[in-house]
Amino acid sequence: MPILAFTNFRALNIEKGIIVKMKSSLKYYLLILKSFIRNNLIINMEYRSNFVIRGIFSTIWTLVQIIFISLIFYNTKSLKGWSKYEMMLLFGVDQIIFAFFIAFSYSSLSRVDDLIVKGTMDYVLIKPVNEKFYLSLNKIDMFQITPVIFGLAISIYSIIKLNITINIYQYIIVITLIIIGVIILHSIYLICVSLSFRYLKTNFVRSIILSFIGCMIYPLDIYNGLFKIIIIIFIPVGIIVDFPVRILVKDLPLGKLLYLFFIALIFSFISSQIWKKSIKSYISASS
């Protein structure tokens, strides 16, 4: 019996060691991400009518925004130094960043409330995968491909109308800043979701954050006072779209570029720490 117990204990330790090693492997997580994308694509293709309907609504919303921008510039040539097609470029980049945020963060993390209330969070925590990774990406909204395409089309059209020549370095910087923008939005939203472990329902907090995210579509120059400070420092959604577009149409000092990187690092760290503490405070449904 002691030999059998020792054998089982050793096997358990080996199994735990394999899981720990797997959870720290980049290849392992890339395979999981590939699986998430494939599964969600299959699920979404089963409801093709939804894709068509959401595509129609996305088209209508995009047209409404374009008409709104056109009306603003009907009697004026600039708004706080921003021309019509510069504003259109802001809108295009906003579409891209927001669509990636919805697809790879919001769609999955919004389910955390229900998982905690129903007690099914237990099944997530025992999976051989980092729980934050799983909860952020297991439900990818493939329908967001439509606003991404619209955003790219509007951005390219605006760049052509502005007669802007972009070199390879600007492309790399802009793409990097777009990725950083998605990371910042994910970190802000993750902080809100983490509150669910303590307060359960946090819909009102997330609604407020989403309202602030709506400010991304406009340049920082139109804001003043305390509100401008809030969207630059405390809820830094104002710099997510403004900064990458400024690189293309205006001038972005190196200090502001570094500030965006700094904000991304700070909010990623804060959200990670808050998430870890929230997970530790979670009371299992089986306890």
Per residue of the chain (287 residues), what is the pLDDT tens digit?
A: 444 443 443 333 434 444 444 555 788 999 999 999 988 888 877 777 777 888 899 899 999 999 999 999 998 889 999 999 999 999 999 999 999 999 999 999 988 888 888 888 888 888 889 999 999 999 898 889 999 999 999 999 999 999 998 889 899 999 999 999 999 999 999 999 998 888 767 788 888 999 999 999 999 999 999 999 999 999 999 999 999 999 999 888 999 999 999 999 999 999 999 999 988 888 766 55
Contact 193, 109 (CB under 8 A): yes
Q: Give the model's pLDDT for residue 142.
A: 85
In whole angstroms, give the CA distance from residue 86 to residue 90: 6
How far is residue 71 CA from its own chain's centroid?
30
Q: How large is the C-alpha radius of gyration of the chain?
A: 22
Q: Give the model's pLDDT for residue 148.
A: 95
Q: Give the model's pLDDT for residue 24.
A: 56
Contact 244, 151 (CB under 8 A): no
Residue 122: other Cβ atoms inside 10 A = 15
Q: Give the model's pLDDT for residue 287.
A: 56
Q: Give the model's pLDDT for residue 285.
A: 60
Contact 155, 174 (CB under 8 A): no
Q: Which tokens hold the place of 283?
A: 């009371």
In whole angstroms, give the CA distance from residue 208 to residue 191: 13
Q: Give the model's pLDDT for residue 9.
A: 36
CA atoms in the 13 A half-sphere facing the CB of 73: 17
What does pTM read for this prediction? 0.87
How far, in Å, are 134, 220, 227 from residue 259 at the CA level? Answer: 30, 15, 18
